[in-house]
Copies of this chain bind each other. A is one copy, B any other.
C-alpha cells in the first residue's frame, strides 16, 4: 500500500502514513459496506480527521479510484493477453465480459464509478488507461476487417460504462454488451461487391 507516489514534492512523513492508512481502511470498508461506506467512519477508523480524508481525496470518486487502481490496471493489461490468445472479436467480447464482471463486483458503487469514467479531472488516469486498452482491442479487429473503423473507442468505452451502470443483473449486461459488439462489427462483405441473386422483394 506504499506504492502511492503523488506527483510534486513528496508528502511529509506523517502525511504519507495517513494517506496509506486511509487507503487500507477504505479498501476494507468498501469491501464490507459497499460504496455506501461512511467516509466519516473511514477517517475515524484510520485515525485521522474527516478534514484530512477530504484534503487527500477531494471526492468520493478519487478515493474509490485510488482503492481500485491496481484492479483496473490489471483489467487493462488483460487486453494485451487476450489479443494474443483469441480472435479479435472473441478477445473484444471476452474483455467486455471481464469489464462487466469487474463493475458488477463493485455492486452499489455505480454513481461513484460513473464519476470515475466521466470526470474531467486529469488526476484520474483510470479512464485513459481503459480507453487505451479498448482501443488496442478494436485496432486488432479493424486490421482484420472485422471491426468497423468508425466508432471512437472513447464512445465505446462510455457505452460499455453506461451498460454496466444501468444493468441490474449480469445476464442483462452481457446481452446488452452483445448488442454493442454487434454494432461494432464491420459490415462484411462490403455491399458494393455484392449483388442480389434471389431477392424475395426488398
Not counting A151-B175, A194-B194, a sample of 17 additional A-B residue pairs whose C-beta atoms are within 8 angstroms of each other reads A155-B172, A155-B179, A158-B172, A159-B176, A159-B179, A162-B167, A165-B165, A165-B166, A179-B183, A182-B183, A182-B184, A183-B184, A189-B199, A193-B196, A193-B199, A194-B195, A195-B195
Identify 21 residue pairs between A and B in the complex whose beta-carbon atoms are under 8 Å apart, listed by A's number. A111-B111, A145-B202, A151-B179, A155-B172, A155-B175, A155-B179, A158-B176, A159-B163, A159-B176, A159-B180, A161-B162, A162-B162, A162-B163, A162-B165, A162-B166, A162-B176, A180-B180, A180-B183, A193-B198, A193-B200, A194-B197
A71 at the A/B interface (Cβ < 8 Å)?
no
* Shortest Cβ distance from residue A172 to the other chain B in the assembled complex, whole angstroms: 6
Residues B196 and A189 in contact, CB atoms below 8 Å apart: yes
Residues B156 and A179 in contact, CB atoms below 8 Å apart: yes
A181 at the A/B interface (Cβ < 8 Å)?
yes
* Shortest Cβ distance from residue A153 to the other chain B in the assembled complex, whole angstroms: 11
Bound: A189/B199 CA distance, A: 8
Bound: A124/B158 CA distance, A: 27
Size of the chain A interface, CB-CB below 8 angstroms: 43
A45 at the A/B interface (Cβ < 8 Å)?
no
Q: Give the B-binding residues of A (Cβ under 8 A).
A: 110-111, 114, 117-118, 145, 148, 151-152, 155-156, 158-159, 161-168, 172, 175-176, 179-184, 187-189, 192-200, 202
* Shortest Cβ distance from residue A142 to the other chain B in the assembled complex, whole angstroms: 15
Residues of B within 8 A of A197 (CB): 193-195
Please give me the residue from chain B that is nearest to A156 by CB atom. B179
Residues A166 and B175 in contact, CB atoms below 8 Å apart: no
Residues of B within 8 A of A179 (CB): 151, 155-156, 159, 180, 183-184
Residues of B within 8 A of A198 (CB): 192-193
